[in-house]
């Protein structure tokens, strides 16, 4: 078994270790349908990025290829209403389509923890995210934010929806210049609040640095409570994880109709995009009429392809070319080689002149006239 694992690709070993991690913390693996009723997604468009692929089944019902896994998880948990599904993980594909990219299929390995927000539940998921990144690469970083921080600043401002969305885009892109252009002539927003908004794109670092930057502003009670909660979370996390692996960045704005609490993004070296993302999404369960909350994250496993693309992965260990002299003896030889932990590809000797250089393997064996020969 050990040799078999060693022969797996680096990516598959990483995914195996991630599943082992989630199992060890009591998370149950679940399987989800690739197709859901179209209404599930049509009624929850706010939670979906990209367009939906649809199909009509023989009964005339409109189905959709799953564009989002969390909705399927929420539907399953809301229906089952049992502790059995309060801690789950999955390894599933999502399917989307867009005008420029066309059809897209991506695999995700994700974790969901169901329950009303507490310090420990937030800690458990953030800790699992940090452990997941460590499995993927020793050079990693987890970036934390909070959806409520941004929304509490903008919720009472008299700004059109499109203007708010444009400002959120500029904050996310750390574009202070264009934010100032939008708000320059706005008389309904105080100069102090404008200056706080201008600060948001660069509001990153450790929690103490951020508190220092914010000390010159009069913050509303919601922000004060959020910062206090994040500080408590941070102080608990650094007792078990390196503080060098965690930073806060309040310029990260993900779907505020989806997330209402902690937001996280995980990065590893050599990959510019986040390989892990997630957060708290209590609002989703409200839509299903369930009085609970949820927090989780997903690893976009396809993003790891780039990280592990240069590994020298063997297709098998031994290529065994055989004639038809003694099939019983041949079968005995193959079984012994496999039991010894080798991966063996058998091929009739009539193909010996074929180009086997397309494969990556260690040794070539030839079974001919009842005898086994070894070619290195």
Angle at 81 between CA 76 and CA 87, to 5 degrees: 70
Residue 216 CA to its chain's centroid (Å): 37
* DSSP three-state, residue 211: helix
The binding site consists of 68-70, 108, 112, 258-259
**CB 61 within 8 Å of CB 37:** yes
Which string of DSSP letters, residue by residue, matches 261-278? Answer: SEEEEEEETT--S-SEEE
The binding site for L-histidine consists of 68-70, 108, 112, 258-259
Q: 22 exposed, middle or buried (CB, 10 Å; 0-12, 13-18, 19+)?
A: buried
CA distances from 367 to 42, 118, 130, 149, 319 (A): 61, 65, 51, 70, 11
Two structure tokens written together for 319:
């290529």
Pairing of strands 54-56, 62-65: antiparallel
């Amino acid at each position: 078994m050990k040799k078999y694992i060693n022969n797996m690709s680096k990516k598959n070993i990483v995914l195996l270790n991630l599943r082992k991690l989630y199992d060890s913390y009591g998370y149950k693996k679940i399987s989800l349908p690739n197709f859901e009723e179209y209404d599930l997604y049509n009624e929850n468009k706010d939670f979906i990025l990209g367009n939906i692929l649809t199909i009509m089944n023989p009964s005339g019902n409109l189905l959709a290829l799953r564009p989002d896994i969390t909705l399927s998880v929420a539907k399953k948990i809301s229906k089952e209403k049992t502790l059995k599904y309060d801690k789950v993980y999955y390894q599933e594909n999502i399917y989307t389509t867009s005008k420029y990219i066309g059809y897209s299929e991506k695999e995700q390995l994700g974790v969901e923890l169901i329950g009303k927000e507490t310090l420990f539940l937030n800690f458990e998921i953030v800790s699992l995210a940090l452990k997941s990144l460590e499995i993927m690469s020793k050079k990693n970083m987890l970036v934390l934010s909070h959806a409520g921080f941004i929304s509490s600043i903008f919720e009472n401002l008299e700004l059109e929806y499109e203007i708010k969305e444009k400002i959120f885009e500029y904050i996310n892109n750390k574009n202070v210049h264009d934010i100032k252009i939008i708000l320059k002539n706005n008389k309904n927003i105080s100069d102090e609040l404008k200056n706080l908004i201008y600060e948001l794109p660069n509001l990153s670092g450790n929690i103490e640095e951020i508190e220092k930057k914010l000390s010159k502003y009069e913050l509303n009670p919601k922000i004060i409570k959020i910062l206090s909660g994040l500080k408590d979370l941070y102080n608990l996390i650094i007792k078990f994880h390196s503080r060098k692996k965690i930073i806060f960045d309040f310029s990260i704005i993900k779907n505020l109709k989806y997330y209402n609490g902690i937001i996280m993004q995980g990065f590893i070296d050599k990959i510019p995009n986040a390989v892990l993302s997630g957060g708290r999404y209590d609002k989703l369960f409200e839509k299903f009429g369930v009085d609970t909350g949820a927090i989780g994250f997903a690893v976009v496993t396809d993003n790891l392809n780039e990280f592990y693309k240069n590994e020298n992965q063997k297709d098998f260990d031994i290529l065994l070319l055989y004639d038809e002299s003694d099939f019983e003896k041949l079968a005995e030889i193959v079984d012994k080689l496999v039991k010894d932990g080798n991966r063996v590809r058998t091929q009739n000797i009539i193909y010996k002149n074929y180009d086997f250089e397309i494969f990556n393997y260690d040794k070539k064996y030839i079974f001919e006239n009842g005898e086994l020969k070894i070619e290195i």
